[in-house]
């Protein structure tokens, strides 16, 4: 059964730092991986979707990489800002179109 | 494009009552929608897959008679929490799958509090 874990569980940094969030999955037979952002009490915002044929995707200050063989993905946030404070979730599909979510990383960026 | 709405955004009810939550895909048709539940400080857990025109498929451990799902049209799925109890208090999020079947778009969530 697919298991998705994220490290660290929580992170608190001063603004301006470059950050790396990690996502690990046990079954490498995935066809994509997605990163989401969730603000407290809110729904999900999709950040990046990486297809299995891709190694990375970039959107603004965000860069996500995918290494299927090692079962890992990283989300890189450059020059972090207080507005980046949120919970970041990765998710992989299983049984064709269902999603299984990681445990999440709670990020706080302080001024 | 690809906007999903949920209604209500927040609901408080008494124990024993039933609560209906709507999930709508506003600008696309979705034959498949999903319902998730999220407890505080935990990740999302899939409850059920909602298929237009057919019965929902429930994940293991989810009571189908308690969480009634109806997907009567290509843009609307409803989740009814029947005889709600305080332990049903949670954040419920739906998602709608695109036509290609390779991406889900999420609603803003519904906070249910059962007193």
pLDDT in tens, A65-109: 999 999 999 999 999 999 999 999 999 987 767 889 998 999 999
Task: Give the pairing of strands A4-7 and A98-101.
Answer: unpaired
Q: What integer pLDDT is reported at residue A97 of this predicted model?
A: 72
Surface of A (92-111) touching B: CB under 8 A: 96-104, 106
Q: Read off the pLDDT of each residue in B90-94 and give the average, rounded to a whole number.
A: 95
Considering only CB atoms, A101 lies closest to which of B44, B49, B103, namely: B44
Taking the CA of residue A53 and the nearest CA in chain B, the distance in Å comes to 14
pLDDT band at B1 (very low <50, low <70, confident <90, very high): low
Q: Read off the pLDDT of each residue in B72-83 and give the average, rounded to a whole number.
A: 94
| Mean model confidence pLDDT for chain A | 93
* E strand or H helix that includes residue A108: strand A105-110
Residue A32 CB burial class (10 angstroms; 0-12, 13-18, ≥19) = middle
- CB-CB contact of A20 with A34 (8 Å): no
8 Å CB contact of A41 and B34: no
- Of B98, B102, B106, the C-alpha closest to A51 is B102
Range with lowest mean pLDDT among A87-91, B23-27, B38-42, B84-88: B38-42
Q: Strands, DSSP E only, in chain B?
A: 4-7, 10-13, 19-25, 32-38, 45-51, 57-58, 67-73, 76-81, 90-97, 104-106, 110-114
Residues 6+ apart with CB under 8 A from A6: A21, A22, A23, A24, A88, A89, A90, A102, A103, A104, A105
Rounded CA separation A3/A1 (Å):
6
Within 8 A of B49 by CB-CB distance, chain A residues are: 98
Q: Strands, DSSP E only, in A8-104?
A: 10-14, 19-25, 32-38, 44-51, 56-59, 62-67, 72-77, 86-94, 98-101
Residues 6+ apart with CB under 8 A from B61: none
Rounded CA separation B74/B56 (Å):
14
- CB-CB contact of B36 with B59 (8 Å): no
Which chain B residue's Cα is nearest to A99?
A: B46
**Partners of A107 in beta bridges:** A11, A86
Within 8 A of B43 by CB-CB distance, chain A residues are: 89, 101-104
The full length of chain A comes to 111
């Amino acid at each position: 059964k697919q298991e998705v874990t994220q490290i660290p569980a929580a992170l608190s940094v001063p603004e301006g730092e470059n950050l790396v969030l990690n996502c690990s999955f046990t079954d490498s037979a995935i066809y994509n991986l997605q990163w989401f952002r969730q603000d407290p009490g809110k729904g999900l915002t999709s950040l990046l979707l990486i297809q299995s044929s891709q190694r990375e995707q970039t959107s603004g200050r965000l860069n996500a990489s995918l290494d299927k063989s090692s079962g890992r993905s990283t989300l890189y946030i450059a020059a972090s800002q207080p507005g980046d404070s949120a919970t970041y979730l990765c998710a992989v599909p299983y049984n064709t179109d269902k999603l299984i979510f990681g445990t999440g990383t709670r990020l706080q960026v302080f001024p | 494009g690809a906007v999903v709405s949920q209604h209500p955004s927040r609901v408080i009810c008494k124990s024993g009552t039933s609560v209906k939550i709507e999930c709508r895909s506003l600008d696309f048709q979705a034959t498949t929608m999903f319902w998730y539940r999220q407890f505080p400080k935990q990740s999302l857990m899939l409850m059920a897959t909602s298929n237009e025109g057919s019965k929902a498929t429930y994940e293991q451990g989810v009571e189908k008679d308690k969480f009634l799902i109806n997907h009567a049209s290509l843009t609307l799925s409803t989740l009814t929490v029947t005889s709600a109890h305080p332990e049903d208090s949670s954040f419920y999020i739906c998602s709608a799958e695109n036509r290609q079947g390779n991406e889900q778009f999420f609603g803003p969530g519904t906070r249910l509090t059962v007193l």
